[in-house]
Structure 1
Amino acid sequence: MKSKIKIKIILVDDHAVVRAGFRMLLGTHDMIEIVAEADRGEQAIQLMQEHAVDVAVMDLSMPGLGGLETIRRICQRDSKAKILVFSVHDEQVYVNRAIAAGAKGYISKNSAAANLAMAIEHIANGEIYIEDGLLKDQTGKSDVMDYHAIIEAFSAREFDVFRLLAKGMTVHKVAEELCLGYKTVANYGTQIRNKLKVSTLAELAHIAVILGLMKN
């Protein structure tokens, strides 16, 4: 999944040596261009307004606003903002809170170096990317069986819409992908969420991941 134009990113981390490592790592990828750097959330918000950024790569542990509040504020200003969390924290609670705040992806700093560029490309292309193993199954076995049964009962169209929404696509993009009307896809989305008893795209993505239906 290669983009034809460069993916412009901003690096947000309070440690200069970490940002330098990012630059070295991403400098080997021709399709990624670092256009700005920030060492705290307040600066990141300002730079996001000044630059045409495709993806913000952001740590969670920073002075000032902190990563989670920065994500929330950026997404409040721009609902289409694409943020990848790249953090030392790999606990479930951090992943859940980051996605709930509006992040489109999450990888740990312990992951393979190649995962960073891969995650950036996925998110730049409108997908959700969560490192394998970070979304652990916190549901009971009976809940997983229920999800399987519900999804197996989906119509072909419902399953297609579910799969694309779980990948992080907007309703407009799903409609375009499947050659359906916006209202039709929106109605499918409502039906799917009601059947699975969830209310957010992050929850749909979680279900898809724990059932092995969405591979990163």
Structure 2
Amino acid sequence: MIRLLLVDDHAVVREGYRRLLEQRGDLRIEAEAATATEALVAFRNVGPDVVVLDLSLPDMGGVELIRRLLQRDARARILVFSMHRDPLFATQALRAGALGYVTKSCAPEVLIKAVYQVAARQRVLSPDIAPDIALALLSDIDNPLDALSLREFEVLRLLLDGRSAEEIGLSLHISPKTAQNTHYQIKAKLGVKSDIDLMRMAIKWKLVRDDNAEA
């Protein structure tokens, strides 16, 4: 029996893949969480075989959550199940220690198979994103965002989400001053002088969506 912890802030979405996974007699949902904070508590209480988590959570980024889960148990098996198809999100999640990355646009059987693979400590990528990651790795064009550390990536994600230094500090359990200093370090690493330039770069590398481009 493979015991699972599901982490997703959308209850309807979570219910959908809970039902999908529970159709298999050897998969059992031990706990669910809507936030990273709830996930950390459930992980401690339940000790699941596999954690299936979304990257977009209201209180903490999924990459940071992956890092903290592995701090609590270095052998934690984590599968990311995310709406993000950009290779940057997948590579950051894998760098943080996730064993697999499956997008929510994949076929249901891909998610089921990935759960079994991660439970067996195998690495897995859903077919719809694996070619993009391979192309990104082989590309001659360097993505400057790859230079960011995992912590810097999470701070950047929260900055782009409109969070203040105080809010970032609370989410990542760092001081507002550390969050502010990391903000400056990110701009220095990326070679931008203003937050407007930072946003433009994020749009260019598809870290955020340019709604105006779709109008």
Q: TM-score range by the shorter chain?
A: 0.5 to 0.7
- Asked whether the equivalents of residues 86 and 106 of structure 1 are also in contact (C-alpha less than 8 Å), the reply is yes
Matched residue SS, 2:136: coil
Distance (Å, rounded) in 2 between the aligned partners of 1:141 and 1:96:
14
2:65 aligned residue (62, 70, 84): 70
Cα drift, residue 31 of structure 1 = 1.2
1:120 is aligned to 115
Do structure 1's residue 27 and structure 2's residue 17 form an aligned pair? no
What is the TM-score when the length of structure 2 is the normalising length?
Answer: 0.61
1:119-159 CA distances to partner (integer Å, 9 max, x unpaired)? 000010111111124223224489xxxxxxxxxxxxxxxxx
2:50 is aligned to 55
Structure-to-structure mapping, 1:78-117, within 5 angstroms: 78-117=73-112
One-letter amino acid of the structure 2 residue matched with residue 32 of structure 1: L
Matched residue SS, 1:136: helix
With over 3 angstroms needed to count, the CA separation of the structure-2 counterparts of 1:15 and 1:50, relative to structure 1, is same
1:31-57 CA distances to partner (integer Å, 9 max, x unpaired)? 100000000111101111111300000
- Asked whether the equivalents of residues 87 and 136 of structure 2 are also in contact (C-alpha less than 8 Å), the reply is no
Matched residue SS, 2:32: strand
Do structure 1's residue 38 and structure 2's residue 61 form an aligned pair? no
- Asked whether the equivalents of residues 9 and 56 of structure 1 are also in contact (C-alpha less than 8 Å), the reply is yes
Matched residue SS, 2:135: coil
Distance (Å, rounded) in 2 between the aligned partners of 1:75 and 1:139:
25
2:147 is aligned to none
Distance (Å, rounded) in 1 between the aligned partners of 2:139 and 2:19:
44
One-letter amino acid of the structure 2 residue matched with residue 137 of structure 1: L
With over 3 angstroms needed to count, the CA separation of the structure-2 counterparts of 1:139 and 1:8, relative to structure 1, is closer
1:197 is aligned to none
Distance (Å, rounded) in 2 between the aligned partners of 1:117 and 1:37:
17
Distance (Å, rounded) in 1 between the aligned partners of 2:44 and 2:67:
15
Distance (Å, rounded) in 1 between the aligned partners of 2:44 and 2:59:
19
- Asked whether the equivalents of residues 70 and 97 of structure 2 are also in contact (C-alpha less than 8 Å), the reply is yes
1:149 is aligned to none
1:137 is aligned to 135
One-letter amino acid of the structure 2 residue matched with residue 110 of structure 1: S
One-letter amino acid of the structure 1 residue matched with residue 4 of structure 2: I
Structure-to-structure mapping, 1:147-186, within 5 angstroms: none
Distance (Å, rounded) in 2 between the aligned partners of 1:136 and 1:94:
14
What is the TM-score when the length of structure 1 is the normalising length?
Answer: 0.61
With over 3 angstroms needed to count, the CA separation of the structure-2 counterparts of 1:30 and 1:137, relative to structure 1, is same
Distance (Å, rounded) in 2 between the aligned partners of 1:61 and 1:109:
12
One-letter amino acid of the structure 1 residue matched with residue 119 of structure 2: A
Cα drift, residue 91 of structure 1 = 0.4
2:7 is aligned to 12
